[in-house]
Amino acid sequence: MTLDTVKIGLVSISDRASQGVYQDQGIPSLREWLSKALENTLEFVEVLIPDEQADIESALIKLADDDQCALICTTGGTGPAKRDVTPEATLAIAHREMPGFGEQMRQISLHFVPTAILSRQVAVIRSNSLIINLPGQPKAIAETLEGLKDEHGKSIVKGIFAAVPYCIDLIGGPYMETRDSVVKAFRPKSAIRPK
């Protein structure tokens, strides 16, 4: 089976990183994890912008409508601070909300910090794009996507990415094949393509 090429939008939202005060770590972390997790050829469209709702909305609309990214991952701007407006921007351009993603992301983070309940991450669908707000810290990005495993590699808490490929199937996107050593995608038997 020839694997589909998958176009993925990566959006880092940070006032200071976008001004060059420090180097952005969100986009490189996302790119590295996704490249490790997926067997498909990946094409990334990367955007680094400040915490401005209009800028975030416009970037998400462009990535979904013009660039036709099947998956768009944002990092940063999901806390309770006044400048944290990523969830508002994401919901403003959404066609449908996917609340299970945010619930599970907070569940994973609660294993590490009680402040996980302050996170306001959301996930939405716009046309044929799944848009997910991820945490800002590289370690938290990987934990959220991959989930938690014990010392024997057994899953303790499922990461959100296990559900992403099937969600993309259902909204008319490319077939995404994961590397089971990183994260095993879940699909009903009827939706699995033979390798």
User: What is the distance between the alpha carbons of residues 193 and 195, in angstroms, rounded to a whole number?
Assistant: 6
Rounded to 5 degrees, φ, ψ at 103 are: -60, -45
User: What is the distance between the alpha carbons of residues 161 and 132, in angstroms, rounded to a whole number?
Assistant: 10
Give the residue-averaged pLDDT of 39-43. Answer: 97
CATH number of residue 152's parent domain: 3.40.980.10
* Beta strands 6-13; 71-75: pairing state: parallel
**Per-residue pLDDT tens digits for 4-28:** 999 999 999 998 888 888 889 999 9
Residue 102: inside a domain: yes
Number of compact structural domains in the chain: 1
pLDDT score of 153: 76
- Helix (H) or strand (E) segment spanning residue 130: strand 129-134
Residue 59: inside a domain: yes
Residue 1: inside a domain: no
**Can you give the pTM of this predicted structure?**
0.96
pLDDT score of 18: 82
Give the residue-averaged pLDDT of 1-5. Answer: 86
> Can you give the residue range of the structural domain that contains 27?
6-191
Per the listing, tokens 């005060």 go with 21
Average pLDDT, the chain: 94
How many beta carbons lie within 10 A of that of residue 106, not counting itself? 16
Residue 112: inside a domain: yes
Residue 57: inside a domain: yes
Give the residue-averaged pLDDT of 60-81. Answer: 97
Structure confidence at residue 145 as a pLDDT band (50, 70, 90): very high
